[in-house]
Amino acid sequence: MQKRLSPGLVALVHVGIMFLPGIPAYLWLWPNVKGTAWLMPIHVAVYFYFLAGCLIIGLRRWSLSDLGLNRKGVGLSLACGGAFILVRQLGLLALGFSPELQPLTFRRLAGEIGFYFGLVGPIEELLFRGLIYRALDEWRGTRLAIWGSALAFGMYHVGWQGPLGALGCFVAGLIFGAIRWRAGGIVGLILAHSLLDVIALEMHPDLTLEQIRQVQVVHPSLAILGDLILLALIVYLWKLYPAFERIKPGALFKKTER
């Protein structure tokens, strides 16, 4: 009998086909629309394209809950995602980048919240920690799911953020992939991802990767604090979480039955 291919592997092949239009987009489309009025409409269209692809590919094999759209681990995801946001902010402060808050206007803030909470966060999480993570997990297990989805997340951003930005997204993808593993869902990650992007845009709107390359650490204590928080987050997710999970609320206060 002919051996059937894993549904996860087949889904990954289909995801690869979905990304093929990205080749001419990077080579021709984005360079020509950058800085023009067409950039945002095309950006929105691209996200809807990925949303349709995720649903078509994913729902042929799994449910929305299987893809992470469930209520599992929302609090855990928000707490760990918030810790990662704090690490990022401490890193920028350590490099001497003070927050530069823009004048608050309802129209601009509503547009940013709508774009990042309505499109960027939900669709990128559904794609990377939803569909790609699920396909890799079913094909080769959790370890490849975390590392593979993080690698895909980094490569997705290399086109407009460069190698350094892709490396940062790869690290973020590893943390978010570990959170996805422990939480069992992506709803909390969607909120954390969206909040991370809005905070970055609001507090450091003009920050470029070229500026980061040229600076040195001016506040070592903040850098050390950020590293310690990141290390604690990694140790918690990889090693300590199972022990905490076994401690049920109120278990320490129950009377021992005689």
Give the model's pLDDT for residue 28. Answer: 85
Residue 188 lies in a domain: yes
Residue 68 inside a domain? The answer is: yes
251 pLDDT band (50/70/90 cuts)? very low
Residue 53: closest CA among 99, 81, 14:
14
CA distances from 89 to 4, 97, 116, 204 (A): 48, 9, 19, 10
Q: Kindly state whether residue 155 falls inside one of the protein's structural domains.
A: yes
In a domain, 252, yes or no: no
Number of domains in the chain: 1
Q: How far is it, in rounded angstroms, from Cα 101 to Cα 258?
A: 61
Is 256 within a domain? no
With 90 as the cut, is the pLDDT of residue 100 above it?
A: no
Question: Which residue type occupies 21?
Answer: P
Is 82 part of any domain?
yes
Average pLDDT over residues 108-137: 95
Q: Would you say residue 3 has pLDDT above 80? A: no
Q: Is residue 254 part of a domain?
A: no
Contact call for residues 90 and 226 (beta carbons, < 8 A)? yes
Q: Quick one: what percent of the chain has pLDDT higher than 90?
A: 63
DSSP annotation of 252 reads: G
Domain that holds residue 145: 7-245
Residue 118 lies in a domain: yes
pLDDT-derived band of residue 25, with 50, 70 and 90 as boundaries?
Answer: confident
d(CA 37, CA 223): 39
